[in-house]
């Protein structure tokens, strides 16, 4: 190959996904063979058309915003879009917009690549359905086990007390019964929170304000446990989150951190903005976790504390499972970094804007679950 232009043309034509270049006014300048097949029109017919005409209505506005931002900022960005060919089921594409710059670095247009990820999406939905079914089995097993223990204990107590005529003995028995009932109630409350974590409702909340009230809420607990509290909260824009749920996520993480520092230590809470994401970190200098523990952290009923014979019977290992569900429902993610004996750092990332495609994905997931 001697002619470099011809070589690049061949590379462009034979890319295994849609590739289109746009003028600054978002009109199609060139398109590869894959694009011709995907849009079912010859290249000559696509050329000069506004690109957004090729995008289905629900994704059009978000795609327009994304491409314009790419042209303004000079940085690539991506989103998911739907595209329906004739009467077929809509396919999901990941659309990547990248700036085209000339030798001086001036932006002279954008390139668009689009890859069909419908199959990948379908498989991941199947997988999460299968996981959900598997975890449902586990949840049922664990609940049965917990309540079996509680009911068994109550039965034994009653059987022992029944033949007794001593009011003291009967009172002791009633006290024991009352404790068992409280424990069952606490477990039921945690189960309800876990189930609810998948049905979050959006309510406007000011994240910066919410962090301030969270810190006030845990300050007293830290003082009581001899824990030094260090905070650094950067202001972030207001977004749509369910404030109560977010507060319960943070409280659950702080509880774990405080419980991990039975000998005292430092709890650091900070929040900063990273582009369109708010990053919240809760860092403790507590006992940390083994690799084995880290593997099972988010599983419902995984606990090293109580529940199944440990010391604190109200700890049944639903904390992080609930937190995980709630954060995912908010479109965010959670990651945990921990070393045994060295402490733990939990990071939560929450989106400060919601792309239309996110909402479409949520609607899509809801539709397939019906
Ligand atoms: P629970 O607190 O009821 O045990 P969680 O789901 O909140 O359940 O946590 C699961 C397990 O993860 C805990 O039992 C503990 O072993 C571990 N863990 C969670 N957070 C921390 C932390 N900050 N430091 C050390 N271990 C932790
Ligand atoms: Mg916990």
- Can you spell out the DSSP letters for 30-66? EE-HHHHHHHTS-HHHHTTSBGGGGS-HHHHHHHHHH
According to the model, what pLDDT value does residue 252 have?
Answer: 93
Q: Scanning the structure block, which residue is given the tokens 């003082």?
A: 223
Tell me the pTM: 0.61
According to the model, what pLDDT value does residue 22 have?
Answer: 96
Residue 310 DSSP symbol: S
Q: Whose CA is nearest to atom 12 of ligand 1?
A: 297
**Ligand 2 centre and the CA of 156: distance in Å?**
30
Give the H or E element holding residue 270: strand 265-274
The domain spans of the chain are 3-116, 119-199, 201-354
Give me Rg for the CA atoms of the chain. 28
Question: CA 300, CA 323: separation in Å to the nearest integer?
Answer: 11
Ion ligand 2 residue ranges (Cβ < 5 Å): 256, 319
Counting from 1 in the atom list of ligand 1, the atom nearest the Cα of 306 is: 4
- SS3 for 345? strand
According to the model, what pLDDT value does residue 349 have?
Answer: 95
Count CA atoms within 13 Å of residue 259 on its CB side. 16
Low-confidence spans in the chain with pLDDT less than 70: 1-2, 197-204, 306-314, 353-370
| Ligand 1 pocket check for 343: Cβ under 6 Å | no
Class of domain 3-116 (CATH, top level): alpha beta
Counting from 1 in the atom list of ligand 1, the atom nearest the Cα of 255 is: 2
Which residues touch 264 (CB under 8 Å, ≥6 apart)? 225, 226, 227, 228
According to the model, what pLDDT value does residue 203 have?
Answer: 66
| Ligand 1 pocket check for 225: Cβ under 6 Å | no
pLDDT tens-digit map of 232-241: 999 888 777 7
Tokens coding 320: 């992080």
**Ligand 2 centre and the CA of 320: distance in Å?**
6
pLDDT tens-digit map of 89-143: 888 899 999 999 999 999 999 999 999 998 988 888 888 777 777 777 777 888 8
According to the model, what pLDDT value does residue 188 have?
Answer: 87
**Ligand 2 centre and the CA of 207: distance in Å?**
23
| Ligand 1 pocket check for 319: Cβ under 6 Å | yes
Query: At CA 42, angle to CA 39 and CA 48, rounded to 5?
Result: 85
According to the model, what pLDDT value does residue 354 have?
Answer: 53
Hey, what's the torsion of the CAs at 75, 237, 335, 192, to 10 degrees?
-140
| Ligand 1 pocket check for 296: Cβ under 6 Å | no
Q: Residue 31 phi/psi, 5° resolution? A: -145, 150
Answer whether 3-116 and 201-354 agree in fold.
no
Question: CA 198, CA 316: separation in Å to the nearest integer?
Answer: 19
Question: CA 152, CA 197: separation in Å to the nearest integer?
Answer: 30
According to the model, what pLDDT value does residue 126 have?
Answer: 86
Counting from 1 in the atom list of ligand 1, the atom nearest the Cα of 346 is: 23
Return the ligand number nearest the Cα of 287. Answer: 1
Give the H or E element holding residue 295: helix 291-296
CA distances (Å), origin 273, targets 74, 121, 254, 346: 21, 29, 21, 16
Could you tell me how far CA 150 lies from the centroid of its own chain? Answer: 34
**Ligand 1 centre and the CA of 254: distance in Å?**
10
Question: CA 225, CA 287: separation in Å to the nearest integer?
Answer: 15
Counting from 1 in the atom list of ligand 1, the atom nearest the Cα of 303 is: 14
According to the model, what pLDDT value does residue 273 have?
Answer: 92
pLDDT tens-digit map of 37-70: 999 999 999 999 999 998 888 889 889 999 999 9
Count CA atoms within 13 Å of residue 152 on its CB side. 6
According to the model, what pLDDT value does residue 355 have?
Answer: 44
Closest listed residue to residue 324, CA positions, set 301, 343, 299: 299
| Ligand 1 pocket check for 180: Cβ under 6 Å | no
Tokens coding 44: 């000559």
CB atoms within 10 A of CB 325: 23
Q: Which of 253, 263, 303 to mutate to test the pocket of ligand 1 (most atoms within 8 A of CB)?
A: 303
What's the CATH code, domain 201-354?
3.30.565.10
| Ligand 1 pocket check for 297: Cβ under 6 Å | yes
| Ligand 1 pocket check for 284: Cβ under 6 Å | yes
């Amino acid at each position: 190959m001697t002619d470099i232009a011809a070589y690049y043309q061949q590379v462009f034509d034979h890319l295994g996904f849609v590739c289109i270049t746009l003028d600054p006014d978002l009109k199609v300048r060139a398109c590869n063979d894959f694009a011709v097949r995907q849009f079912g029109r010859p290249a000559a017919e696509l050329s000069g058309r506004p690109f957004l005409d090729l995008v289905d209505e629900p994704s059009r506005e978000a795609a327009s915003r994304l491409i314009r931002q790419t042209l303004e900022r000079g940085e690539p960005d991506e989103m998911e879009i739907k595209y329906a060919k004739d009467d077929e089921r809509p396919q999901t594409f990941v659309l990547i917009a990248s700036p085209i710059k000339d030798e001086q670095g001036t932006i002279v247009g954008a390139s668009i690549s689009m890859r069909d990820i419908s199959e990948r999406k379908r498989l991941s939905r199947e997988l999460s359905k299968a996981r959900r079914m598997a975890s449902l089995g586990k949840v049922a097993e664990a609940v049965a086990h917990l309540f079996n223990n509680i009911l068994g204990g109550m039965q034994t107590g009653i059987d022992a007390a029944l033949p007794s005529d001593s009011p003291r003995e009967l009172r002791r028995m009633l006290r024991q019964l009352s404790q068992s009932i409280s424990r069952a109630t606490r477990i039921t409350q945690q189960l309800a929170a876990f189930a609810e974590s998948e049905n979050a409702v959006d309510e406007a909340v000011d994240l910066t304000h919410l962090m301030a009230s969270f810190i006030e809420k845990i300050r007293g607990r830290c003082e009581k446990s001899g824990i030094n509290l260090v905070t650094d909260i950067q202001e972030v824009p207001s977004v749509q989150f369910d404030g109560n749920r977010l507060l319960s996520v943070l409280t659950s993480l702080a509880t774990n951190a405080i419980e991990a520092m039975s000998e005292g230590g430092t709890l650091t809470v900070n929040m900063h903005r990273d582009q369109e994401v708010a990053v919240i970190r809760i860092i403790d200098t507590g006992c940390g976790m083994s690799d084995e523990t880290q593997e099972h952290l988010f599983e419902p009923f995984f606990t090293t504390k109580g529940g199944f014979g440990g010391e604190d019977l109200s700890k049944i290992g639903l904390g992080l499972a609930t937190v995980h569900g709630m954060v995912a429902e908010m479109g965010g993610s959670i990651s945990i970094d921990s070393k045994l004996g060295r402490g733990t750092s939990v990071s939560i990332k929450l989106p400060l804007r919601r792309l239309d495609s996110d909402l479409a994905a949520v609607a899509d997931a809801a539709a397939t679950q019906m």
